[in-house]
């Protein structure tokens, strides 16, 4: 009987020891799983943060927008130069003439067809003949220096020849308009560079990326200031041509 009791006690001890072993293993597994999970979560979060940093600043989009703005500035420059009268007839001379039509200020080219009948004469043909008087008045008050001849059907504008002195004055006007165009382009460059520098300061761009962005902005500026010079030179040549 003593032997049977001893065997029973030994069996109980073995069961208890095995239970402690399983609990320890389970605890270790949970700890390892938890640690692995935490490490995975950390690395995943780090990768996401890096990904967000890389996509925070769109340099390419900024440059695309800058070129679009510079192109518009150039187009505006061309429109302004076209209003400078040369010795030859050009419908563009009337681009800035607005007419009070039924109490609404309306661009002349929306109320009439404008054509050249000769190298020195423009013909304005109103779509509504009742607007002739209003168109005549608008041309006189526009300051373009042309006297309208209203024959009751159309308005004719004779372009007087320019004196050499007047040509030189108009050439200076063209240069002044060109300088305004360059200032507009440079202002766009400054805006772009400021944004790039702010992105670098906010750690959205590296120092090298910031430098590349500023260099790209300067290249765009050089490209469009050169275009401005070309357009102005062409206009000056047109003005001085007799």
The whole-angstrom separation of Cα 203 and Cα 56 is 10
The set of long-range contacts for 26-34, using a CB threshold of 8 Å and a minimum separation of 24, is none
Q: CA dihedral defined by 104, 105, 110, 115, rounded to 10 degrees?
A: 140
pLDDT score recorded for residue 49: 37
Range of the domain at 198: 59-85+163-240
pLDDT score recorded for residue 242: 67
Residue 121 contacts residue 82 (beta carbons within 8 Å):
no
Q: How many domains does the chain have?
A: 2
Give me the residues of the chain with pLDDT under 70, please.
Answer: 1-55, 242
pLDDT score recorded for residue 22: 40
The answer as to whether 196 is a domain residue is: yes
The answer as to whether 29 is a domain residue is: no
Choose one of 132, 158, 184: the last residue of a domain: 158
Verify that 198 and 180 share a domain, yes or no. Answer: yes
Residue 109 contacts residue 95 (beta carbons within 8 Å):
yes
> Nearest-CA neighbor of 232 among 189, 170, 185?
170
Beta bridge partners of 114: 124
The whole-angstrom separation of Cα 133 and Cα 69 is 39
Q: Which residues contact 99 (CB under 8 A, 6 or more apart)?
A: 105, 106, 107, 108, 111, 131, 134, 135, 138
């Amino acid at each position: 009987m003593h032997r049977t009791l001893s065997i029973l006690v030994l069996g109980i001890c073995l069961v208890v020891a095995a239970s402690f072993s399983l609990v320890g293993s389970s605890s270790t597994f949970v700890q390892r799983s938890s640690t692995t999970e935490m490490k995975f979560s950390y690395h995943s979060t780090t990768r996401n943060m890096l990904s967000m940093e890389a996509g925070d600043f769109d340099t390419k989009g900024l440059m695309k927008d800058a070129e679009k703005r510079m192109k518009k500035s150039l187009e505006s420059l061309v429109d302004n130069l076209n209003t400078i009268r040369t010795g030859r007839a050009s419908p563009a001379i009337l681009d800035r003439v607005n007419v009070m039509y039924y109490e609404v200020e309306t661009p002349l080219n929306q109320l009439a067809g404008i054509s050249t009948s000769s190298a020195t004469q423009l013909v304005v043909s109103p779509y509504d003949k009742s607007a002739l008087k209003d168109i005549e008045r608008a041309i006189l008050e526009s300051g373009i220096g042309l006297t309208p001849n209203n024959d009751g059907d159309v308005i004719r504008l004779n372009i007087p020849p320019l004196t050499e002195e007047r040509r030189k004055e108009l050439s200076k006007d063209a240069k002044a308009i060109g300088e305004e165009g360059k200032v507009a382009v440079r202002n766009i460059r400054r805006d772009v560079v400021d944004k790039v520098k702010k992105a670098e300061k906010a750690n959205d761009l590296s120092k090298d990326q910031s430098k590349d962005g500023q260099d790209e902005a300067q290249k765009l500026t050089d490209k469009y200031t050169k275009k401005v010079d070309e357009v102005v030179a062409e206009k000056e040549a047109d003005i001085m041509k007799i």
